[in-house]
A and B are shown apart, each in its own frame.
Chain A
Amino acid sequence: MKGSYRKLAESSMKFRFLPGIRSALYLGEDHLLLSTQMILVERYRRFFFRDIQTIAAAKSSRWIWAACVWLVPFVFSSLWFIGQSWGYYLTGGVSLLVFGALFVASLLAGPTYVVEIRTAVQRQRLRPIERARKYRRFCRDVLPLILQAQLTEPSQTEVVT
């Protein structure tokens, strides 16, 4: 069973280090598996291809705020240079480098969406694919599988933009 799942996406780097809010999306033979880690317990939700009714994605501005989380300590890191010794310079340089890299990485990850999957009995946010690149990859790889499972022509699917 373990070998039958392929990981599609995982929550972003900063959430990966916090054990309470990790989540990952896996692709099974005939379903998607959303695994959410709640500190000491891992919970699973399955979405069978034949039951998926809608996948909706709304553009959000969260990515700008996420980048600002790293921008603030980046700016404050420059205060280390007020102290005029090599120790301060080194600390300031390292923190500028770390927070600067995290800021750039956050921007490069691209815009965010709020993605929801809906079946007849449940509605769930798919947090692991809420970055634009991951969402596009998900659409490219998984949507045809859902269509195939529902035994209809792709033209019968309605994409509303």
Chain B
Amino acid sequence: MVCGYCSSEVTATKFPANLRDFADTPAEPVRNEDSPCFFHTTNRAAAVCDSCGRFLCTICKVQTGSEVWCPDCIDKNRNKPSTPQFFDQTILFDNTAFLLAFLSLLSGFYLVGGLLVALVSIGLIIYGWSRQRTIVKRSRLRFIVGGLLAAVQGIGWVALALWFAHSYTQIMQQA
């Protein structure tokens, strides 16, 4: 088919889920012998949370793979290493350290605070080495490159500072 707005050729693959009405499993009201949902006491429980064991209605149950979770447990486990299925973002310490070292060189801030930047970068690399929790494979190359850059930067800055100090002393002595 052709898009009515931009006239480009469009191919759309519709799956059966497209036809599914998401309101087709409304929460049933609780009857005499039924267990109610923990969060909606007027709704009949349809599942049990695999983490805390609370009864859940169809509104509250959240299915990830073969497990059922309640909204409370998802919120509590969002950033725990044991439940990577709930990770929605992670801090990239390797990129932070590398960019910090690289941008300080690029911006010229290196001349003023090169040693500080190098120390912060190395600190980030040490801190993030075991704490960076990406859920997909990521090589440690950026950590190594960032660390080397920061180390060279730090040593260079100290050498530069010593050279300045030495030159300054010589000039003062000559004067």
User: Footprint of B on A, CB under 8 Å?
Assistant: 1-3, 5, 7, 19, 24, 26, 29-30, 33, 35, 37, 39-45, 50-60, 119-120, 139, 143, 146-147, 150, 152, 156-161
Contacts and interface: CB of A to CB of B under 8 A. Distances in A.
Contacts of A19: 95, 99
B62 to A, nearest CB: 11
Interface stretch (B36-44, B129-137, B154-162): B129-137
Contact of A51 (B9, B17, B84, B85): B17
For the complex of A and B, 6 pairs with smallest distance between CB atoms: A53-B18, A56-B12, A1-B84, A58-B10, A43-B89, A152-B16
A160 B157 CA distance: 63
- Taking residues whose C-beta sits less than 8 angstroms from the other chain, chain B's interface range is 20 to 34
A44 B89 contact: yes
A147 B87 CA distance: 26
Interface of B: 1, 3, 6, 8-18, 22, 65, 84-85, 87-92, 95-96, 99, 134-137
B15 A40 contact: no
Contacts, number: 112
10 contacts: A5-B135, A33-B135, A39-B99, A40-B92, A53-B14, A55-B13, A56-B13, A120-B17, A157-B14, A160-B11
Contacts of B18: 53-54
B11 A56 contact: yes
A50 B10 contact: no
A37 B136 CA distance: 12
